[in-house]
Amino acid sequence: MKSLSVSKAVTALMLAGLVLLPLYSSLSGNVFILTLFTRIVILALAAASLNLIMGFGGMMSFGHAAYLGIGGYAVGMLAQEGVGSGFIQFPVALAASAIYALVIGALSLRTRGVYFIMITLAFAQMAYYVASGLARYGGDDGLTVYKRSDFSGLINLSDRTQFYYLCLACLFGVIFLIWRIVNSRFGLVVQGLRSNEQRMQAIGFPAKRYQLVCFVISGTMCGLAGALLANNTDFVSPAVMYWTRSGDLMVMVILGGMGTLFGPIMGAVVFLLLEEFLSQITEYWALIMGPLLLLIVLFGRGGIMGMLGRAGRG
């Protein structure tokens, strides 16, 4: 029980920190930290969506950045065409990600293991090249989003604090949804499929259909992150979908603790803060970051959540 309390305390502290961050930012006059954490919260949302299929479903998607791009391009392209309403942009972003996930998932789920990792990667690379070829929408150079999504005065996305809280609300909403899914009958079947697909199939569950639905839910959530990201950077480019970005998301999930509810948030916060912190010390921050990841894999099994659990027991 004691082990639980340590990781719970750290998690609660982190969540409280995220909620109170704008207050600190306005009191200290540090605007940069709010911008930084908006980005962290959005990528935490993407990592959480990946964790749903990777941690709970055992499906290692190495192409999750594609949804970031699809969600982002939905916002950017609509804005370019003069459709500025967020009430249209966001549903379109979610729907586009869902449809992409449905097609990709249906094809990829025919394979498993390393082949699944590779085929999801291949499809994401395809999306990357499609975006590079969109001459009307900037091609390789990317697309500037001149106006953030307009929610008819309900929320003003250009206001830093309001936008931050919107992102945070989306993150908490997604985490809540994942919690409900994981503990539902559907979620239990998906987790059962992770440990023994043959047995679940023998009991009579249509394995692929359950996994596909889970895959689509995850992709849609990540599409939401993409739509937020485009609003945050006022820019979307094929680079968002490049495979190393999918790697970043994977690193966040594994770093934080795969298959734990709050692990991906922890992973995103630590990974991006470390990146920020190290890049302030030295231009060559990746020189430290790289081996650090290696050490975490070698000695920190179960990610930060796992380490916190062990620290509590120790």
Q: Give the interface with another protein as residue ranges (CB under 8 A).
A: 54, 60, 62, 107-108, 110-115, 117-119, 121-123, 125-126, 129-130, 132-135, 139, 243-244, 247, 250-251, 254-255, 258, 284-287, 289-294, 296-298
Q: How many CB atoms lie within 10 A of CB 27?
A: 9
Least distance to another protein from the beta carbon of 66, Å? 12
Strands 143-144 and 235-236, bridge-based pairing = antiparallel
Q: Tell me if residue 144 falls in helix, strand or coil.
A: strand
- For residues 92 and 71, is the Cβ–Cβ distance under 8 A? no
Q: Between 179 and 284, name the residue whose CB sits nearer to another protein.
A: 284
Least distance to another protein from the beta carbon of 64, Å? 13
Q: Between 10 and 122, name the residue whose CB sits nearer to another protein.
A: 122
Q: Between 167 and 193, name the residue whose CB sits nearer to another protein.
A: 193
As to burial, measured by CB atoms within 10 angstroms (0-12 exposed, 13-18 middle, 19+ buried), residue 129 is exposed
- For residues 276 and 30, is the Cβ–Cβ distance under 8 A? no
Taking 3-state DSSP, the helix, strand and coil percentages for the chain, each rounded to the nearest 5, stand at 80, 0, 20
- For residues 268 and 40, is the Cβ–Cβ distance under 8 A? yes
Least distance to another protein from the beta carbon of 189, Å? 22
Least distance to another protein from the beta carbon of 130, Å? 6
Least distance to another protein from the beta carbon of 254, Å? 5
Q: Between 213 and 293, name the residue whose CB sits nearer to another protein.
A: 293
Least distance to another protein from the beta carbon of 306, Å? 12
CA dihedral 72, 76, 81, 85 (to 10 degrees): 80
Least distance to another protein from the beta carbon of 14, Å? 21
Q: Between 90 and 116, name the residue whose CB sits nearer to another protein.
A: 116
Q: Between 99 and 126, name the residue whose CB sits nearer to another protein.
A: 126
What is the residue whose two structure tokens read 């990792």? 117
Q: Between 207 and 292, name the residue whose CB sits nearer to another protein.
A: 292
Q: Between 125 and 233, name the residue whose CB sits nearer to another protein.
A: 125
What is the residue whose two structure tokens read 């909403």? 173
What is the residue whose two structure tokens read 């930290």? 33
Residue 252 to residues 87, 121, 290, 296, Cα–Cα distance (Å): 30, 17, 13, 12
Residue 53 is classified by DSSP as I
Tokens of 161: 């604090």
Tokens of 75: 């916002």
Nearest to 81 by CA among 147, 155, 5: 147
Least distance to another protein from the beta carbon of 245, Å? 11
